[in-house]
Structures are given as C-alpha cells and as structure tokens.
Amino acid sequence: MPGNADIPSVVEQTRLIGPLDGGVVNAHFLGRTAALVLGDNAIVLVPPDGETRRIAAHEGAILTSVTDGARVISGGDDGRVIETVSSGETRVLASDPKHRWIDHIALGPDGTIAWSAGKNAYAQGKELRTFEAASTVGALAFFPKGFRLAIAHYNGVTLWFPNAAEAPPQTLERKGSHLGATVSPDGRFLVTTMQEPLLHGWRLVDSQDMRMSGYTARVKSFSWSADGQWLATSGATQLVLWPFPHSKDGPMGKPPRLLTPSGHRIEFVACHPRNAAVAAGYDNGMIFLTRIEDGAKILARKPSDTPVSALAWSADGLLLAWGTEGGEAGIIDLA
C-alpha cells in the first residue's frame, strides 16, 4: 500500500453508522436522508440530523434496489416490490403471485417501474405489461428517453417497448451470461457486464459490437459520470473509465483511462452527480475520491475490514454514504 499519509483526507468528516446486521448491499439518498439497504430485510434511514431508523421493508432478503431520489424501490426474496419514502412509510407496489424472487428493478424516466422474477419481466406504467425472456433475466435498464426497456439474459439483450405491442422486441446477440446492463445517457450505446470479467457494448444505431476487457474480476458496479462522457467500472485494481465522447464512434477503438492503481480491487463505484469525480470502494474497505481529469485523489475511508459494498452521493454532491459487506457504514459530509 503506498503511503496514504500525504493524501488529502475527508475521513474525519464521517458520521459512523452501524455496525448493521446483515451487511450493507446498497445505498441511496432521499433528499439529504441516506437509505442504507441491508442484506436481510431492512432499509436503514439516516436523516441529516436525528436518529437512524431501521425499516423492516421486506419479509425476506432484499435482492435489488433503485431510487429516483424521492423513494427507494426494492425487490426481495419475499416476491415483493416495495416503495420506501424518507418518512419511513412503505407501500407494496407489486407482489409476485408465485412468491418468486424479485431479482431486478429499473426505474423509467416517467416513473414507470420495471422488475423481473426469473424469466419474466414486468413494466408497470398505466397498465401492467409482461415479457418472457428466453432465459432468466440478468438485468434491466430503461432508456433515458422513450418507454423502452433493455432486458439482459443469456446470450444477449432484448430491447422491449412495453407499450407498443405491435413493435417486435429487438434482440442484440452476444454469447454468454449478461448480469448487468446500462444505457449511455445519450441513449446511443448499451453496455452489459458479463459473467466473465469483461463488458460488452453495442452501438445501437447499427448494433456494432464493442468488447471492453482487461478486468481481473466480474464487473459488479458501474456508474456514468455527470457529463455522460465516462463509464466508471469496478473489477480491477485501478479505476477503469471508458470514454464515451459525444462523437460518432463513442468509445470505439479508444483505450480506457486507468486511475489510482493500488494493490486492492475496486468493488463499487459512484460518480459524483455534478463534478467529474468518482468515489471508488475497495475490497479492503478503503474508499478514494478521484478526479477524472488528472487522477488526483482524496482518501474517504482508510483500509479496514470487509469490502466496500455500497456508495451513494446525495443529489447536491455534498454527502457520500458508504457501507461494507460486514455492516460498517458512514455518511461523509463534504460541505
């Protein structure tokens, strides 16, 4: 480990929460209230001043969660899709009739919610629409515009217009298991994370393939920079940023930018919502904030115990919430 002594630090500005039973599996912000999602059944709400509250949102493990800044929507092995707001109130949005696990959730630009259970994907706008994929759904991602959903599965991704029964779903093929999916903010590229330690991408206008490899582990976390020009990814001992310039070819043929090399692997990334900077959490519990332009870094958490498993920024970019597999958690106030 290179000496961290000379690196600027915001560690002292951390409000420690926890340890939290069940480990932290995700983090979100509802305004300035942090929502730490736990692996068992609960969401812990941390208001800026005031007591933390543990909300038993599910009757089983929480498997997936997303936010639109006003509510956390989570899916669990109890077969339920649950909405939790910052007051702590919860509401059941959907319940799988066969109590199957809710594996993935995505939030559409107009507030539409999509979720999947096994091979089935559902989209709840004005009406409930369903789609059966060829194999278990690996990920869901809405397009930034238009009511269109990317459904990842074995051997590719299917693009589905839930409200246009007459428009046939389009499938982009790529052999293997796709476990994560994201559409670039300009809507021109679709990127999936695969079972193998690599990403696969498609330029949507002509379905041209992009292979983005060089990782040492499965890429479990990715995040778009505020300007949409970089895709930050976990899965390597350096911060891997793929360039998506606003040019015709996007990332085609361009190498990634590699920042903050260390002896430890990055497990979770979250781009700052306003500035060109990335929070990266490592497998030894360490967290760095890194500026994309020049790689300048700030220490946000010292190496300690279990891997960082959650990072989230408040919308104003002044608060950073983090959590670890072991259940340690904190809120860093950068103001």
Partner 1 sequence: MTEQSSSEKVPVTLLTGYLGAGKTTLLNRILSEPHGKKYAVIVNEFGEIGIDNDLVVGADEEVFEMNNGCICCTVRGDLVRILDGLMRRKGKFDAIIVETTGLADPAPVAQTFFMDENVGRKTKLDAVVTVADAKWLSERLKDAPEAKNQIAFADVILLNKTDLVSADELSDVEGRIRGINPYASLHKTQRAQIPLNAVLDRNAFDLDRILDLEPTFLEEDDGHDHDHEHSHEHGDHDHDHAHKHGGLKHYHDEEMQSIALRSEKPLDADKFLPWIQDLVQKEGPSILRCKGILAFKNDDQRFVFQGVHMILDGNHQRPWKHDEKRESRVVFIGRNLPRELITEGFENCVVK
Structure tokens at 39: 């692996």
Phi/psi for 11 (5° steps) reads -55, -40
195 binds partner 1 (CB under 8 A): yes
Smallest gap, in angstroms, from Cβ of residue 18 to partner 1?
17
What is the spatial distance between Cα 143 and Cα 50, in angstroms, rounded to a whole number? 37
Residues 6+ apart with CB under 8 A from 267: 220, 221, 234, 281, 282, 283, 307, 308, 309
Q: Which of 93, 198, 298, 334 binds partner 1 (CB under 8 A)?
A: 198
Q: Which of 101, 268, 288, 313 binds partner 1 (CB under 8 A)?
A: 101
Query: Distance of CA 187 to CAs 32, 156, 224, Å?
Result: 29, 18, 12
Strand order in the sheet with 329-333: 14-17, 329-333, 319-324, 308-313
152 binds partner 1 (CB under 8 A): no
103 binds partner 1 (CB under 8 A): yes
Q: Which of 69, 89, 92, 135 binds partner 1 (CB under 8 A)?
A: 135
125 binds partner 1 (CB under 8 A): no
What is the spatial distance between Cα 123 and Cα 60, in angstroms, rounded to a whole number? 23
Nearest to 27 by CA among 231, 314, 333, 304: 314
275 binds partner 1 (CB under 8 A): no
Helix (H, G, I), strand (E, B) or coil at 291: strand
When the beta carbons of 25 and 270 are compared against partner 1, the nearer one is 25
Residues in region 45-74 near partner 1 by CB under 8 A: 60-63
25 binds partner 1 (CB under 8 A): yes
Q: Which of 88, 146, 154, 298 binds partner 1 (CB under 8 A)?
A: 154
Residues of this chain that interact with partner 1 (CB under 8 A) are 22-23, 25, 39-40, 60-63, 77, 100-101, 103, 118-119, 135-136, 138, 154-155, 175-177, 179, 194-196, 198, 217-218, 220, 283-284, 306-307
